Amino acid sequence: MTEEVVEAKIKELERLLENKASEDEIFRLIASEKSPEISFDAVIEYFQRKVSWDERIILPLSKHLFIVCKEGKAIVKAACGYEFGDFRINWKVFSKVRVRRTQEEIEELYPPFMHSDPEWTEIREFLCPGCGKLLAVEAVPPGYPPVFEFLPDIVTFYEKWLGREFPCEKVDVKDLTAEYIKENIKL
């Protein structure tokens, strides 16, 4: 019975996601299900069928990025197969970045007088190193650290919310980005 419900949800998700439904519609579909586990399983299964690799998806971060379990470690992996690293390190650190910091560069996107002052704000475009897909855009003051959009406590989510065992090696969920930069990126 549960399996049939999951299967029906996957079909519905497919229809919504492939017709470029708004996030609102997708949220409504997920929230309409009385049992959140069924929606969760359907979302995971939907993406798991779309990707060509085998690592188990623990949580989708977007339509292109997923936290997966790879050899016992929870890492961020892209749909195209590119692997970013430990999910506790902001994936933006591993991506390709295009920074727009001059008037001319910003006006490739915005009409004159309709954009921020490049002295105050730069526009950063984060691209997937595996396929070039645009993954995120942020407008921040120059020098501002990359914004960590979502660091979910996936261990608590699995254990306390879903009431399941965490399907990978358990770790303390804390932001490791600064540590990683300190150890690996030499200026």
**Residue 132 Cβ vs Zn ion, minimum distance, rounded to whole Å:** 7
Going residue by residue from 128 to 167, which x/- string records binding to Zn ion, judged by CB under 5 A?
x-xx-x----------------------------------
Distance CA 154, CA 172 (A): 10
Tokens 């936290």 identify what position?
A: 67
Q: In this complex, which beta carbon is closest to Zn ion, that of residue 30 or of residue 89?
A: 89
For residue 183, the tally of other CB atoms under 10 A from its CB is 9
Q: Which of 83, 97, 86 minimizes the C-alpha distance to 146?
A: 97
Q: Which is nearer to Zn ion, 53 or 157 (CB)?
A: 53
Least distance (Å) between residue 123 CB and Zn ion? 21
Phi then psi dihedrals of residue 149, to 5 deg = -70, -35
Window 13 to 52, contacts with Zn ion (CB under 5 A): none
Detail the DSSP E strand segments found in 50-95: 56-60, 65-70, 73-78, 83-86
With contacts defined by CB under 5 A, how many residues of the chain interact with Zn ion? Answer: 7
Between the two ends of the chain, the Cα-to-Cα distance in Å is: 57
* Residue number, 49 or 186, with CB nearest to Zn ion: 49
As measured in angstroms, the least distance from the Cβ of 65 to Zn ion is: 8
Please give the Cα distance from 65 to 84 (Å, whole number). 9
Residue 34 beta carbon to Zn ion: minimum distance, rounded to whole angstroms:
35
Binding segment (CB under 5 A) for Zn ion, from list 4-12, 25-33, 53-61, 123-131: 123-131
Closest approach, Cβ 64 to Zn ion, in A, equals 6
**Which residues within the stretch 70-89 sit at the binding site for Zn ion (CB under 5 A)?**
78, 80, 82
Nearer to Zn ion, 118 or 129 (CB): 129
CB 146 within 8 Å of CB 92: yes
CB of 29 to Zn ion, least distance (A): 26
Angle at which helices 2-18 and 23-32 cross, to 10°: 170
Q: Which residues lie near Zn ion (CB under 5 A)?
A: 78, 80, 82, 128, 130-131, 133
